[in-house]
Chain A
Amino acid sequence: MRVAVFGASGLIGRAVVQRLVSHAGLEVQAFVHNTGNAWPLLRFGLSLRTADLCSRRDADEAVRGCTHVVNCALGVDDELVEGMRNLLEACRRHHVERLVHLSSVTVYGEPPASESTDERAPARARRGTYGWYKMEQDRMVLRAQQQGLSSAVLCLPHVVGPGSRLLLAVLRALREQRFTLVDDGIYPVNVVDLANVCHAVELALRCSRVDGRRVFITNDDSLTWRDLISALAPLAEVVPDGVPVIASDAARALTGDQLTLAQAALTILTFEQVKAVLRRTVLQRNLALAAAIRTCRRLVRGACVGRADFTPRMASGSRAEGARLDPALCLYQLRRVRHSCDRAKRELGYLPVCSFAQSLSAFRRWYETAHGVGTEWWPLLRELST
């Protein structure tokens, strides 16, 4: 088996390459889009090449001679579709025996529909979003499967483990007091550890029962956001009970990206906490209204100009009074569905090899080494980040 791995320098690609080389003992040809973060790959002594999947010629030359292909490549918008088209064409032309494509749960929309516990739920990502482009990719792979290219589509939630972008974002938000738990953190957080992704990729390369349809790969646990925050709080040097909490209706309003000022104001005025304030003295009521209007203005302005650093503050009177919100992390918490990996278990024989507790331990060890946390230097290094 000669496996071409595209997107090999990314977080997942790198782990997949390492797993396939050192654990599965396969012959791997790693492809990167650019060489900027390719250094860690070089330690494996494997062949590393650059390929731009948006170039038909690059894709064709890359796939030639490979029996199996793993697509971990990232991209932006149309690049994802164009790159996928070229990769599928190359796979067909060179009679690739198996394509393993990494998809994302964002294909089910933001937030996903409640029926998306199961992969058969209709994908409904909004046009132009990342999820929509991943959905288009999945459709193309399914068509290719129907035309004879044996394909597996592994649908991943947030990836955790060493280097996890989600965990880093949460840590940072906790440390900067931008993290707010929605509804006390009772909702599920769908995650999959890197080791489990790699395990699933290896299974998908060898399994005979793949049909080009999405298969959820998760840690298969019952982790909630409250659990996640409790686990990360010591690393962020915060007390979990001190993390502010807001209601999901407030979170929805504050993370909406299509709200008008009037809509935002009306929504905020329906919050129970705001209503309670409005029943107080005239002065308190006026202060609360002024704060709500300021929040609405910033919300709408932030949404209109698409500012990445837009961090609305909760109006006075709410339980999270004065707290700055990280809209993306709020939005993630509104995904209340727990995606089931039962199909992966049935079809691929997948069983997670790493629990969240093990994953977090691995993350902690990595984080301490990579960021110097817990070392004698940490008190100085921390000064740079604040």
Chain B
Amino acid sequence: MGEAFRIGIVGTGMICQDAHLPACLATPGVRVTVLVDPEADRAAACAQRFGINPLIARDVAELPGHVDGAIIATPNHTHADLAIACLDAGIPVLIEKPLATTLADGARIKDWAAKSKIPVAVGYCTRFWPSVVVVRELLQSGKFGTPKRFAFQYGAAGGWTPYSAYHLRQESSGGGAMVVNGTHYLDRALYWFGYPQSVVYQDDSHGGPEANAAATISYPELTGTIRVSKTEELTAGCVVETDAGILIHRDWRDPVLEFRLSGMSRSRFVTGDPGMSMAGRPNMYRLQIDDFVKCCRSGRQPQVGVDEGLAVIRLLEELYGCRQTMPDDWYRASGVEGRTT
């Protein structure tokens, strides 16, 4: 094995400690050499927790010379400036999703990446599930018919609680549930079906970050929905209806892929590939790091690149641009005094 790939992680909050840092430590040939955080104590505590001894830095300006690549794992609104600072110093970046909070910021990153010819990867980690790639191949090859309708869904009551609580401020998160969770599904929809022709969108933001959202995205011969909730438990995954039957892709749960053939209500089969079962499925963050390292070393494009990250922001802005208010005054029709949702 050659020299270790040196990684700096910018931001030592929850996604660093729960995902990126453990993934780096578990990846052979990767070494975390710098932790960057304006709160140096937190970075030091993080290093101690994981039993590593990296350089603790307060600013990305300290990265050059110490790393071969950096992971930007900071609040969303800081992605663009930090990524550009790294690119300017010649450092490839893996940017935690979303690429940025605005299309303009995303475009700035893309321009710098193009100008510097330095790899930029975007952290849509679920793309590293083998089943996601298999579904794309199935749909694009037409082997399971022509898609007619699809429905993505994700819902959790609570859950992800970043240390800085940046997700609660629209200016730092760029939105609400549709950004934090929904962008994974927007990305997957774009990956499977391409960019839609028209969109309809509803949420309950009332001027703040939305907790519940539902988008309908349409193509000439295909239409689908993406529903996300941060108040309700909804089984996560996607169902695609084709003229051959129904394909069910479940997140986090076995069986990952399930097929039902049209006109055969009792026919149901599931994938037997151990690479796709939850038990045998490799950690997606590890695969993401692996891909990032390989593209830094070989100069090839990352599996999820800046163009794809930018397409998600574009779609997100389109959705927010046609926002309608989701009904949430459940008692009004019953004539109950006092609004309570």
A195 adjacent to B212 (CB under 8 Å) = no
Q: How far is the CA of A199 from the CA of B339 in the complex (A)?
A: 11
Q: How far is the CA of A358 from the CA of B334 in the complex (A)?
A: 5
Interface flag for A306 (CB, 8 Å): no
| Number of interchain pairs (Cβ within 8 Å) | 146
Q: How far is the CA of A377 from the CA of B210 in the complex (A)?
A: 21
A6-28 vs B, Cβ < 8 Å mask (1 yes, 0 no): 00010000110011001100000
CB within 8 Å of A: which B147-169 residues: 149-151, 153, 157-162, 165, 167-168
A residues at B contact (CB < 8 Å):
9, 14-15, 18-19, 22-23, 34-40, 42-43, 45, 48, 50, 161-163, 194-195, 198-199, 353-354, 357-359, 361-363, 365-366, 369-372, 377, 380-381, 383-385
A40 adjacent to B158 (CB under 8 Å) = no
- Pull 18 A–B residue pairs with CB atoms less than 8 Å apart, ordered by A: A18-B339, A22-B339, A23-B337, A37-B230, A39-B176, A40-B341, A48-B168, A195-B338, A198-B338, A353-B336, A354-B336, A358-B334, A362-B336, A366-B341, A370-B229, A372-B225, A384-B234, A384-B236
| Choice from A9, A362, A370 contacting B331 with Cβ under 8 Å | A362
B234 and chain A: residue at smallest CB distance: A371
| Choice from B160, B231, B331, B339 contacting A40 with Cβ under 8 Å | B231
A365 adjacent to B330 (CB under 8 Å) = yes
Q: How far is the CA of A40 from the CA of B203 in the complex (A)?
A: 11
Interface flag for B333 (CB, 8 Å): yes
Q: Which of A22, A36, A194, A384 gathers the greatest number of chain B CB atoms within 10 Å? A: A384
Interface flag for B326 (CB, 8 Å): yes
Interface flag for B206 (CB, 8 Å): yes
Q: How far is the CA of A145 from the CA of B37 in the complex (A)?
A: 48
| Choice from B158, B225, B337, B341 contacting A353 with Cβ under 8 Å | B337
With A48-B168, A195-B340 in contact, do A43 and B158 touch (Cβ < 8 Å)?
Answer: no
A18 adjacent to B340 (CB under 8 Å) = yes
B232 adjacent to A35 (CB under 8 Å) = no
A358 adjacent to B340 (CB under 8 Å) = no
| Choice from A39, A353, A357 contacting B230 with Cβ under 8 Å | A39
Q: How far is the CA of A366 from the CA of B207 in the complex (A)?
A: 21
Q: How far is the CB of A358 from chain B (nearest CB, A)?
A: 4
- A-B contact sample (15 more), CB < 8 A, given A361-B333, A384-B151, A384-B250: A14-B341, A39-B167, A39-B208, A39-B211, A194-B340, A195-B337, A358-B331, A358-B335, A362-B330, A362-B336, A363-B330, A365-B327, A380-B150, A384-B234, A384-B235
With A40-B211, A377-B151, A384-B248 in contact, do A35 and B231 touch (Cβ < 8 Å)?
Answer: no
Q: How far is the CB of B196 from chain A (nearest CB, A)?
A: 16
Q: How far is the CA of A83 from the CA of B193 in the complex (A)?
A: 51
With A15-B341, A163-B232, A383-B246 in contact, do A35 and B161 touch (Cβ < 8 Å)?
Answer: yes
A38 adjacent to B153 (CB under 8 Å) = no
Q: How far is the CA of A43 from the CA of B248 in the complex (A)?
A: 35
CB within 8 Å of A: which B168-192 residues: 168, 176-177
